[in-house]
């Protein structure tokens, strides 16, 4: 066994301090650039679909970031995503009384919700606050390009 110098090269991946190919792959994934897609929901929040978009490449939706000028009261605001016409089971929630939340996806072994290139994605508010619905929301989706 040799001592690692921190500048080893593993199968053309480049300089790394990884101890194995798996670790080098994880470094490569973690170093990839993330993207943020921002959507606005002005006014009082209501249930239903509110936008639609497509990605040109395969991505994982990893996190939903909520910001609201008026927090929901009585219950959370929950959003799910229609991906290619199929409603994904995972809900992302802005908790009751909170004006912001960062919610990580738990789908696909913690990689996020896999979205294949060209599929229509439609965010859907499936629940709003029961006392105060919540209002003037900014919703950002954090995603990462899928690496095969």
Query: What sign does the CA torsion over 122, 145, 114, 108 have?
Result: negative
3-class SS shares of the chain: helix, strand, coil, % to 5: 10, 45, 45
How far apart, in whole angstroms, are the C-alpha atoms of residue 101 and residue 64? 8
Report the pLDDT value the prediction gives residue 98, as an integer from 0 to 100: 92
Q: How confident is the model at residue 46 (pLDDT cuts 50, 70, 90)?
A: very high
Kindly report, residue by residue over 60-113, the tens digit of the pLDDT. Answer: 888 889 899 999 999 999 999 898 999 988 888 999 999 999 888 877 555 788
Structure-block tokens of residue 80: 């799910």
Alpha-carbon distance of 29 to 87, in angstroms, equals 27
Q: Give per-residue burial for 17-46: e unless 16+ CB within 10 Å, then b.
A: ebeeeeebbebeeeeeeeeebeeebeeebe
pTM exceeds cut of 0.75: no
């Amino acid at each position: 066994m040799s001592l690692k110098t921190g500048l080893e090269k593993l199968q053309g991946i480049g300089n790394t301090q990884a101890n194995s190919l798996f670790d080098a792959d994880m470094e490569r994934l973690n170093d990839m650039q993330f993207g943020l897609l921002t959507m606005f929901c002005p006014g009082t929040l209501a249930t239903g679909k509110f936008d639609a978009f497509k990605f040109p490449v395969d991505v994982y939706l990893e996190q939903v970031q909520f910001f609201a000028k008026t927090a929901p009261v009585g219950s959370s605001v929950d959003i799910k995503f229609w991906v290619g016409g199929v409603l994904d089971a995972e809900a992302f929630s802005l908790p009751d009384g909170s004006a912001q939340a960062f919610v990580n996806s738990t789908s696909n072994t913690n990689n996020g919700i896999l979205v294949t290139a060209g599929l229509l994605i439609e965010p859907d508010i499936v629940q709003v606050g029961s006392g105060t619905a919540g209002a003037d929301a900014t919703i950002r989706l954090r995603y990462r390009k899928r690496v095969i």
